[in-house]
């Protein structure tokens, strides 16, 4: 299974995938890593000799034009699957429908609870006693597409947002690698989830 991974941040989930794919027995390969900014996470790709591309929205007149260029960079590599691993921008419908259902996102809450960019903070603020990791197919909304898989985590009372996010990310890294493996092995068919 060939992948293009999009990141905006530190790329620890990307690093977990790159480490997994480094094992010749793992049934997936990262073809390229893209970002909407010169993200820290791109360094992980460079360490593995994986090509990178950065397409910054500020350099385009419209969001649509930005997304077209981003899409053509993705499609250039002909991936079987696109993985959003901490990619912090909403992609327009046209981008999503060109790839759907072969585009998945990783989110640090039990969707549909706490969508958006502050999922961990929002879960704490709401006094949630459990949270976790969700992997879902991307649609045109914000963290709204069909859920493929979730892992649950108990929220320790008094934990800080940063500590909780780190705990969730530990789960996410393992979760992402195992879902990519299941998709690659044909055990999980994205087409079955529709849109
Ligand atoms: C993850 O928690 C992911 O769910 C969220 O952003 C974070 C990315 O972390 N969308 P990293 O860049 O992979 O370390």
Domains: count for the chain? 1
Distance from residue 9's CA to the centre of ligand 1 (Å): 7
| Residue 13 among known ligand-binding residues | yes
Would you say residue 28 lies in a domain? yes
Would you say residue 37 lies in a domain? yes
pTM: 0.97
Would you say residue 143 lies in a domain? yes
Pick the atom of ligand 1 nearest to 13's CA. Answer: 13
Would you say residue 53 lies in a domain? yes
Which residue's CA is the closest to the ligand 1 atom numbered 4? Answer: 107
Would you say residue 116 lies in a domain? no
- Our mutation pick for probing the ligand 1 site, out of 13, 114, 166, counting the most ligand atoms within 8 A of Cβ, is 13
Q: How many CB atoms lie within 10 A of CB 110?
A: 20
Would you say residue 130 lies in a domain? no
- Please give the C-alpha separations between residue 34 and each of 55, 102, 113, 125, in angstroms, as whole numbers: 8, 16, 28, 32
Ligand 1 site: residues with CB under 6 angstroms? 7, 9-14, 41, 85-86, 106-108, 169, 172
Can you give the pLDDT at residue 115? 97
Distance from residue 169's CA to the centre of ligand 1 (Å): 7
| Residue 23 among known ligand-binding residues | no
Pick the atom of ligand 1 nearest to 168's CA. Answer: 2
Can you give the pLDDT at residue 31? 98
| Residue 73 among known ligand-binding residues | no
Would you say residue 113 lies in a domain? no
- Our mutation pick for probing the ligand 1 site, out of 7, 162, 172, 180, counting the most ligand atoms within 8 A of Cβ, is 172
ipTM above 0.90, yes or no: yes
Can you give the pLDDT at residue 193? 86
Can you give the pLDDT at residue 194? 64
Beta-strand runs (E) in the chain:
2-7, 29-35, 52-54, 81-84, 103-107, 130-137, 147-154
Select from 108, 183, 111 the least CA-distant residue to 147.
Answer: 111
Q: 110-162 pLDDT, tens per residue? A: 999 999 999 999 999 999 999 999 999 999 899 999 999 999 999 999 999 99
Can you give the pLDDT at residue 93? 94
CATH number of the domain that 51 lies in? 3.40.50.170
- Please give the C-alpha separations between residue 103 and each of 42, 43, 50, 79, 144, in angstroms, as whole numbers: 19, 23, 20, 10, 13
Domain encompassing residue 31 = 2-108+135-150+172-193
**Residues of the chain falling short of pLDDT 70:** 194-195
Would you say residue 31 lies in a domain? yes
Distance from residue 87's CA to the centre of ligand 1 (Å): 8
């Amino acid at each position: 299974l060939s992948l293009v991974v999009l990141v905006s941040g530190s790329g620890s989930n990307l690093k977990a995938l790159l480490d997994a794919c480094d094992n010749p027995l793992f049934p997936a390969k990262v073809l390229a890593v893209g970002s909407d900014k010169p993200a820290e996470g791109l360094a992980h790709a460079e360490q593995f000799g994986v090509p990178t591309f950065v397409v910054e929205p500020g350099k385009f007149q419209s969001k649509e034009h930005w997304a077209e260029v981003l899409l053509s960079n993705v499609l250039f590599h002909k991936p079987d699957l696109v993985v959003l691993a901490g990619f912090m921008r909403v992609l327009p419908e046209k981008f999503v429908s060109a790839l759907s259902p072969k585009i998945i996102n990783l989110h640090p809450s039990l969707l549909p609870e706490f969508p958006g960019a502050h999922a961990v903070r929002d879960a704490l603020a709401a006094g949630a006693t459990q949270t976790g990791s969700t992997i879902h197919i991307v649609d045109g909304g914000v963290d709204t597409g069909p859920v493929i898989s979730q892992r649950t985590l108990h929220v320790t009372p008094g934990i800080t947002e940063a500590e909780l996010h780190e705990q969730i990310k530990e789960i996410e890294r393992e979760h992402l690698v195992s879902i990519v493996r299941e998709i690659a092995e044909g055990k999980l068919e994205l087409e079955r989830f529709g849109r």
